[in-house]
Amino acid sequence: MLSLSEMFLPLLAVILVIGPLWLMFRHGINPENAKARILGQVAIFAGVFLVVVLLQANSFTAIAEEAAQSISGTTAQATGFIAAAVAVAVGSIGAAWAVASAAPAAIGAISENPDSFGKAIIFVALGEGIAIYGLLIAILIINKL
């Protein structure tokens, strides 16, 4: 059963985060107070976040202890899961880098000559393929575990 603090703490957090925004939009935004209000909003959000994390720290440790007791596996399986995670992460970062460098060039080429759409979009698709390859490798690694 949830305790009283577990029920009302999220509601209090939402009120503290949304309340200043409501006041800011109700009174209007002017250049003199906009910066102070935004900084106040960020400070309230950070404070609420820290309070919630500190009040829930004991439940985090209880969940971690329960999970640690239920884990059974070998070091090879753990290494395999780490390898699968690294394959997805590196593939996704590589895809992001490829798309970030190819997409602006493709958009520029298409804006100058709309007939070059097929030639330009293939470079963006090749960049996305890198992420799919990383996911495929991760699936193959997990299937071997």
Residues 64 and 20 in one domain: yes
Residues 6+ apart with CB under 8 A from 110: 116, 117, 120
Per-residue confidence (pLDDT) for residue 82, from 0 to 100? 93
pLDDT tens digit sequence for 105-141: 888 888 888 888 888 888 888 888 889 999 999 999 9
| Residue 95: Cβ-neighbour burial (10 angstroms; 0-12, 13-18, 19+) | buried
pLDDT tens digit sequence for 48-68: 778 777 777 777 777 777 777
Mean pLDDT for all residues in the chain: 81
Residues 88 and 61 in one domain: no
Domain that holds residue 79: 73-144
Residues 61 and 90 in one domain: no
Write down the pTM of the prediction.
0.50
Per-residue confidence (pLDDT) for residue 27, from 0 to 100? 67
